[in-house]
Amino acid sequence: MTKILYEHPLNERIRNYLKLEQLFAQAHDCLQRKISVGHQVFFNALFTIIDTLERNDVRGDLIKDLEKLEQNLVVWSQAPGIDASILEDNLQQTVGLVCQLKINKPVWTQLKNDKFLSTLKQRFAMQGGSSSFDLPQLHFWLNQDSELLAADVQGWLALLEQIQSALNIVLKFIRQRASFDKIETVSGFYQESGEGILLLRIQVAKDLPYYPSVSGNRFRYSIRFMSPCEKSGRQYSNQATSFELARC
């Protein structure tokens, strides 16, 4: 049975992580396509990543999470039946990323000093400001050889590689904290204590006519299922509801 996976963070740190993960996916997806067509998606994603890193201490949060993960991996290494080679690979990657992220000046800040990107970023912040007549330098760049465009894009993304790698391993272990439980409700509503939970993962069968709307924090959360509605856009679903929930 095909299922749709929904994820909802229960604190601002995890919210930033999920936001960045999605932005990185959008940016890297442009490498698989013609950048002259998908450049709007790429630059919007790149500039939002830069803004998110500037406005939040994502690097500090990742360092703390990686150091905690390192401690846990050392403890888990003593558990019977553990796959030592896989654990060692994760431990080495975690230790290496902590060392890289603790460098005084993160490499991604070079993106802020790139004159080409700085000019684009100012115009992209304006609605409709990235038109070819507003940014002739972008139009010129887009008409260069595809190899040059790909090299520039890969070079910019390479400066963010440490952040993305740290993000990937932290989110991987957060998601592995819990397995899915099957939940049945009679009214399309479910609530529970959020203590100790960082991330909710909700799976709903694709053929069911509803989707979850989540609100909450680290103390308590609620899931109310909604259905599309032509008049109001959406409406509460009061029918019996079946879904799977992982409390990570």
Residue 3, domain member (yes or no): no
| C-alpha dihedral (110, 111, 112, 113), degrees to nearest 10 | 60
Q: Last residue of some domain: 175, 205, 234?
A: 175
Question: CA–CA separation, 214 vs 197, rounded Å?
Answer: 14
> 113 and 189 share a domain?
no
pLDDT at 68: 95
Q: Can you tell me the distance from the alpha carbon of 160 to that of 155, in angstroms, rounded to the nearest whole number?
A: 9
Domain boundary among 157, 175, 193: 175
> Do 44 and 27 contact (CB within 8 A), yes or no?
no
pLDDT tens figures, 70-126: 998 888 877 777 777 888 899 899 999 999 999 878 899 999 999 999 999 988 887
CA distance 70 to 97: 11
pLDDT in tens, the chain (248 residues): 799 999 999 999 999 999 999 999 999 998 877 787 788 999 999 999 999 999 989 999 999 999 999 998 888 877 777 777 888 899 899 999 999 999 878 899 999 999 999 999 988 887 766 777 778 999 999 999 988 998 999 999 999 999 999 999 999 999 999 999 999 998 889 999 989 999 999 999 999 999 999 998 889 999 999 988 777 777 888 888 999 999 99
| Pair (171, 196) in one structural domain | no
CATH of the domain at 219: 2.60.440.10
- What confidence score (pLDDT) does residue 213 get? 94
Which of 181, 215, 179, 175 has its CA nearest to residue 198? 175
Write out the two tokens for 106. Answer: 């993160």
Q: Report pLDDT for 180.
A: 97
CA atoms within 13 A on the CB side of 132: 7
Q: Does 96 lie in the same domain as 162?
A: yes
* pLDDT for residue 86: 85
For residue 91 the two structure tokens come to 């431990």
Same domain, 66 and 118: yes
**What domain range includes position 237?**
181-247
pTM attached to this predicted model: 0.92
Query: How many structural domains comprise the chain?
Result: 2
